[in-house]
């Protein structure tokens, strides 16, 4: 038996089917510090494009290793410039796709209200049991924290008090849970959460560590992935990135 659909229903089916065929999934591996910002950006992009953006967050070092071993990512948003450049040099990226999407800021943070200012004198005093930081071998913010302590001449003094998170998100949890009295985190992690005051945060002077320039690179040259990377460089995206505590690239 042949079933004939009314013309208006058939047209509706064709429209829905066409939209579904044009929608693609984009797998993006991203640094943990960019979680809240990228979630906003991906949501806006999905709404405008119809594509689905699957976000996988973790340390830049771990993502790099996964890419090397064939993880099926379409794009990689690192928290440094070194690893995207390595991938580019090894021919694992789409030529000409590497760009800097943000410059991060390192912050020393302790929750709550405090009468005394939080700055390098807090670190020099040693008036704490544990200080959190991300693993400097895996996370660029951890590397910046180590460089800061080295610049202040405190790395060897404080080494035994350091609690190292696998990534900057875990480091933030160490501080918020009380497992560490204070910690080096990304400024972007504080923007939506904390009332900033001189007593609970110290924006680490940029001359104490190398710049935290964060680069993105395209791993698979699909139309949807390329379009998403172009969106990250748009004026709208840059405004969101700046609003979340980053500096202009």
**In a domain? residue 190:** yes
Tell whether 58 and 152 lie within a shared domain. Answer: no
In a domain, residue 6? The reply is: no
* Whether residue 14 has pLDDT greater than 60: no
- The span from the first CA to the last CA of the chain, in angstroms, equals 64
Q: What is the domain range of residue 34? A: 25-103+213-243
SS (H, E, C) 8-70: HHHHHHHHHHHHHHHCCEEEEEEEHHHHHHHHHHHHHHHHHHCCEEEEEEECHHHHHHHHHCC
What is the tens place of the pLDDT at every residue in 65-98? 999 999 999 999 999 999 999 999 999 999 999 9
195 & 172 share domain? yes
Count of CB atoms situated within 10 Å of the CB of 10: 11
Q: What is the pLDDT of residues 27-67, one digit of tens each?
A: 999 999 999 999 999 999 999 999 999 999 999 999 999 99
The structure tokens 């699909």 sit at 222
On the question of pLDDT at 246 being above 70, the answer is yes
**Rounded Cα–Cα distance for residues 194 and 207 (Å):** 25
What's the CA gap between 29 and 44, in Å, rounded?
A: 18
Structural element, H or E, at residue 223: helix 223-232
Residue with the larger pLDDT of the pair 76 and 16: 76
Phi and psi at 3, nearest 5°, equal -100, 125
The arithmetic mean of pLDDT across residues 154-180, rounded, is 94
């Amino acid at each position: 038996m042949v079933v004939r659909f009314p013309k208006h229903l058939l047209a509706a089916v064709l429209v829905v089917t066409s939209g579904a065929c044009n929608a693609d999934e984009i797998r993006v591996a991203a640094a943990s510090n960019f979680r809240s910002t990228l979630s906003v950006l991906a949501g806006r992009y999905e709404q405008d494009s119809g594509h689905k953006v699957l976000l996988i967050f973790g340390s830049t070092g771990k993502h790099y290793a996964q890419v090397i071993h064939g993880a099926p990512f379409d794009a990689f948003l690192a928290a440094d410039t070194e690893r995207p450049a390595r991938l580019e040099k090894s021919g694992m990226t789409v030529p000409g796709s590497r760009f800097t999407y943000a410059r991060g800021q390192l912050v020393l943070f302790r929750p709550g209200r405090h009468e005394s200012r939080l700055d390098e004198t807090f670190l020099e005093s040693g008036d704490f049991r544990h200080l959190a930081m991300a693993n400097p071998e895996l996370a660029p913010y951890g590397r910046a924290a180590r460089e800061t302590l080295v610049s202040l001449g405190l790395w060897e003094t404080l080494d035994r008090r350091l609690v190292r998170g696998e990534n900057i998100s875990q480091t933030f949890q160490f501080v918020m849970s009380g497992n560490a009295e204070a910690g080096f985190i990304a400024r972007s992690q504080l923007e939506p959460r904390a009332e900033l005051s001189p007593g609970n945060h110290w924006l680490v002077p940029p001359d104490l560590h190398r710049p935290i320039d964060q680069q993105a690179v395209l791993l698979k040259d699909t139309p949807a992935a390329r379009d998403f990377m172009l969106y990250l460089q748009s004026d709208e995206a840059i405004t969101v990135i700046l609003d979340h505590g980053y500096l202009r690239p």
